[in-house]
Amino acid sequence: MTPVTPPLPADDGALATCSLDELEVRWAEYAARAPMTAEAMTGADRKAQALGVPGEQLMEHAGTAVAAAARALVAFNGREGRPVLVLAGQGNNGGDGFVAARRLAAWGVPVIAVLVSPSERPRTKDAAKNWSRLEGLEHVQMIRAAAARDVAVLAQGIDRAAIIVDALLGTGVSGRLREPIRSAVELIQQARAAGTPVLAVDTPTGVDLTSGDPADPVVRADLTVTFHRPKTGLQARIGRALAGRVLVAPIGIPPEADRG
């Protein structure tokens, strides 16, 4: 019997109750694919949009997958009833985090969504749209951390978070991180050392998706949700150690966008 391919995350009503093991089985087809570099993933994303798949739709699937994994990670660690802290940058990685925040809130999970950026709004169209969609939602508290001092305020009571979702930066980072991202990464490091689980979106901030090389500082995650296909950097020795458990979620990139 041919196995049935599950719906894409945003259309998959079962995700809200899946455990981590169930998510891994559900998305096993994607984890079994050949790994790709960050550059190849960027190319596949752009080709998908050129073929008519809206970027907003890709982000919706990615963020919903992150939300499902976040809810499952909270349950796995027995930390229900606490808010999920989403630390998001100003790019599309942050946009995935905002979608995840909205989905979690819809499932009744309290969320604190933090835009870690000196800018008042995310810099990409889809991320900005999903930041705005959080306004006025039940179960969502929105905060902007424009500078290191704002991140320092977040450290007060960080131990009350169920988990931290690292949606700060995707890939292409090298060397020392700049503020306020640097302080946010240090906050994640401190919280994880004190026992708060960390879920990374696509890659732990500071881990290059192609090489696995770390920036300074770098996030060490308990769980990483990457998209479409495994990434070479998360299979390299250092990248694998920093990523923790890795789930590969589908986001709707068609096969014809994944060639060449």
- Distance, in Å, from the CA atom of 45 to the CA atom of 49, rounded to the nearest integer, reads 6
- How deeply is 121 buried, as exposed, middle or buried, from its count of CB atoms within 10 A (0-12, 13-18, 19+)? middle
Q: Please compute Rg for the chain using Cα positions.
A: 17
Residue 30's contacts (CB-CB under 8 Å, 6 or more residues apart) are 228, 229, 248, 249, 250
Spans of all domains in the chain: 17-255
- Residue 119 has a CB neighbour count (10 Å cut-off) of 11
Quote the pLDDT of residue 3: 61
3-state secondary structure of 153: helix
Say which CATH topology domain 17-255 has: Rossmann fold (3.40.50)
Quote the pLDDT of residue 171: 73
Quote the pLDDT of residue 172: 60
Quote the pLDDT of residue 257: 95
Quote the pLDDT of residue 259: 72
Which residue carries 């007060």 as its tokens?
156
Quote the pLDDT of residue 4: 72
Quote the pLDDT of residue 260: 53
Q: Give the residue ranges of the chain where pLDDT is below 70.
A: 1-3, 172-174, 260
Quote the pLDDT of residue 5: 82
Residue 142's contacts (CB-CB under 8 Å, 6 or more residues apart) are 113, 114, 115, 131, 134, 135
pTM of the model: 0.97
- Distance, in Å, from the CA atom of 95 to the CA atom of 103, rounded to the nearest integer, reads 12
Q: Which DSSP state fits 229? A: S
Q: pLDDT for 157-213, tens place per residue?
A: 899 999 999 999 987 666 789 999 999 999 999 999 999 999 999 999 999 999 999
Residue length, the chain?
A: 260
Q: pLDDT for 197-220, tens place per residue?
A: 999 999 999 999 999 999 999 999
The backbone torsions φ and ψ at residue 4, rounded to the nearest 5 degrees and listed phi first, read -85, 125
